[in-house]
Amino acid sequence: MSTKYLQFVEPFRHTTLPEFLTFSVLLLFTLGITKIIYNAFFHPLAAVPGPKIYAISPLPISWSRYWGKSPFKFTELHEKYGPIVRVAPDEVSSAGSTSFKEIYGPRYGKGGPLTRDARTAVSKDTFGAIGMFQADVEEHARTRRQLNPAFSEKATRKQEPLVMGYVDSMIQKLRNAAERGEPVVDIEKYTMWLTFDIQGDLVFGEDVFRCIEKEQYHPWINISLTYFAGEVCIHALNDISPWALWFWQKFIVSKSLAEAQRYHTKTTLDLVDRRMAAGKTDHPDYMSFITSESKEGEVLTKEQMYANAHMLVMAGSETVATASATTLFLLLTHPETMVRAKNEIRSTFDSDKAITAASVSQLPYLVAAIDESMRVWPPVATSFNPRQVSSGGCTVDGYFIPEGSVIGIHNHAIGRLETYFKDAKKFVPERWLGDERYAGDAKELFQPFSSGPLNCIGLTMGRMETRVILAKLIYNFDIELMPECSNWLEKQKNYVAWQKPPLMVELTPVNRT
């Protein structure tokens, strides 16, 4: 045994237990104070603006995430501290004029493009592959090439009748409810049911959920909607302390959650197996285009379909439903905008059948209202896929961000900054129609579908669905918001997706006979 070791332990051999405990507490306290001082004043991110309480501990921002308030907190911090803010010891939020290019661009940083945040990494254990939404840059690009045939312009045209069929079913359900004396409905639920029905069919090749038909959520969807909240809470607690996460999982999360997860996984496997067993079909679902249009060697494997199916359904449904319901709410709470949208739609179309994917793109005011809605209240409000700085670090908005730091862009904050948008917190569709009052707006920062190589693969389909849903609702019904829903936005929490309360409206069918 070395002499140095003996010299080190000798003072402790005659130490009493109270003395040892006192020493341990003092040591931990000293280490804690040292860490706090280092994070606040000597850390490589010390020069980045932001409150010192956020610089020394992940607790404040993790607390906001846990309670679903992070979009509002990011907005508050950027309003006070500017375009770049340190929100945790190793995390930065960026809302600068060049942020999208610098962070989401293809080749930024000395070590290559910024990678996904390692905290969101998942293993291949469940499905034997990693989904596109969790993959690194190279694997994401490879998977995206394999999926591209399902999201091409040709595919979208052939998928239009499928989409229209589901939208028409929803309109008929709503008309039936009004005609039998039940005109007040939760339109938020109907838009969710509709978009999940559409996306379920596109991913699994059949009407697997039948939400509109049954007027209720499928269990698979209920579990999926809890997934986002669960994942955000897990990451927030783990950032605070692995012990906090352990306590939450051990004593707070019920065993039924694990059972629900097993059901969800098995159902996903079964649905993918059933679709892939069917092989090539004439049905215009994603798999039909992937198998028929992909180059040799680039067809997705069954394991890749397992891994991607869940997020393809979620990303293509919840966001469209949120954009549709939010735009409708904002039109209803700004009556002058609803009048203009209604006049545009009803003067353009002489029948419901005239409302198509092509024709709704020729409704400038409706398109502007949807864009303005997504600026004011983006469906993806926070950084869905924050980046981790690669080797060598990078410079963002004039600040050096060291290797290993996490950095993200939060659309809710950008859209509400007066620096970029005049009357930022107001709903003004005219800003997208050439109104001179808003000529100075930084419209290039409006990126609701993200940007760069990792942007949303389904943005064309998403835009088409949102426009068609709103055009058909406004064409077929006079719509009135119920008074109890006047503060609908303020009641929402955010766990990647918005948790939306009921949006009650009264529908009066428009009779044209």
pLDDT tens digits, one per residue of 151-174: 888 889 999 999 999 999 999 999
| Choice among 128-142, 254-268, 314-328, 493-507 with the minimum mean pLDDT | 128-142
Which tokens go with 104?
Answer: 């989401």
Chain segment 378-424, per-residue pLDDT in tens = 999 988 677 888 778 888 888 889 988 999 889 999 999 999 999 99
Every domain of the chain and the residues it spans: 49-509
Is 503 or 148 the better-scoring residue by pLDDT?
503
363 and 348 Cβ atoms separated by less than 8 Å: yes
Element (H, E) at 387: strand 387-388
> Which is nearest to 224 in space by CA: 495, 422, 445?
495
Task: Give the lowest-confidence range in 11-20, 100-109, 255-264, 412-421.
Answer: 11-20
- Whether pTM > 0.85 for this model: the answer is yes
Which is it for strands 406-409 and 91-94: parallel, antiparallel or unpaired? parallel
| Helices and strands (H, E) in the chain, number of each type | 20, 12
What are the strands of the beta sheet with 184-186, ordered from one edge?
Answer: 184-186, 504-509, 477-481
What distance in Å separates the CA atoms of residue 277 and residue 222, rounded to the nearest whole number?
26
Helix residue spans in 279-301 (DSSP H): 286-293
Task: Determine the pLDDT at residue 108.
Answer: 46
Exposure string over 416-428, b if 16+ CB within 10 A, otherwise e: bbebbbeebeebb
Supply the pLDDT for residue 301.
83
Q: How far is CA 83 from CA 98, 102, 231, 384, in A?
A: 10, 13, 27, 19
DSSP 431: G
- What pLDDT digit, counting tens, does each position of 419-442 carry? 999 999 999 999 999 999 999 999
Four-way CATH pick for 49-509: 1.10.630.10, 1.25.40.10, 3.40.50.450, 3.30.300.30 = 1.10.630.10
Span 3-10, average pLDDT: 55
From CA 389, how far away is CA 392, in angstroms rounded?
8
Closest by alpha carbon to 163, among 215, 213, 198? 198
* Rounded average pLDDT over 490-510: 96
CA distances from 428 to 285, 377, 424 (A): 37, 13, 9
* CA angle, 226 then 230 then 235, to 5°: 155
Cβ-contact 170, 212 below 8 angstroms: yes
Query: For residues 506 and 482, is the Cβ–Cβ distance under 8 A?
Result: yes
**Contact by Cβ (8 Å): 235, 119:** yes
333 alpha-carbon distance from chain centroid: 25
Residue 203's nearest CA partner among 260, 132, 112 is 132
**Cα distance between residue 66 and residue 331, in whole Å:** 31
| pLDDT (0 to 100) of residue 109 | 45
Reduce the DSSP state of residue 489 to 3 states and report it.
helix
* 3-class DSSP assignment, residue 253: coil
CA–CA separation, 259 and 411 (whole Å): 35
DSSP SS3 for 396: strand
The closest of 317, 342, 281, 292 to 471, measured between CA atoms, is 342
**Average of pLDDT values for 246-262?**
75
Q: What is the pLDDT of residue 39?
A: 86
